Amino acid sequence: MNSRSHFALAFDISRPQSRAERIARIEWLSTLLDTALVIPGTNIRFGLDALIGLVPGIGDIVSTALSLYIVREARALGAPRLLIARMLANVALDGMIGAVPVAGDVFDVAFRANRRNVALLRAHLDRTERRLRRARS
- Domain residues of the chain, as ranges? 18-136
pLDDT of 13: 61
Cβ atoms of 74 and 117 closer than 8 Å: yes
Count of residues for the chain? 137
CA distance 49 to 31: 10
pLDDT, mean over the chain: 89
Give the helix/strand (H/E) hosting 38. Answer: strand 37-38
pTM: 0.85
pLDDT > 90: what percent of the chain? 69
Nearest CA-CA partner of 82 in 114, 121, 113, 127: 121
Q: What is the CA radius of gyration of the chain?
A: 16
Write out pLDDT tens, residues 55-97.
887 888 999 999 999 999 999 999 999 999 999 999 999 999 9
The yes-or-no verdict on residue 2 having pLDDT over 70 is no
What residue type is 61 in one-letter code? I
**DSSP character for 1?**
-
What residue type is 132 in one-letter code? L
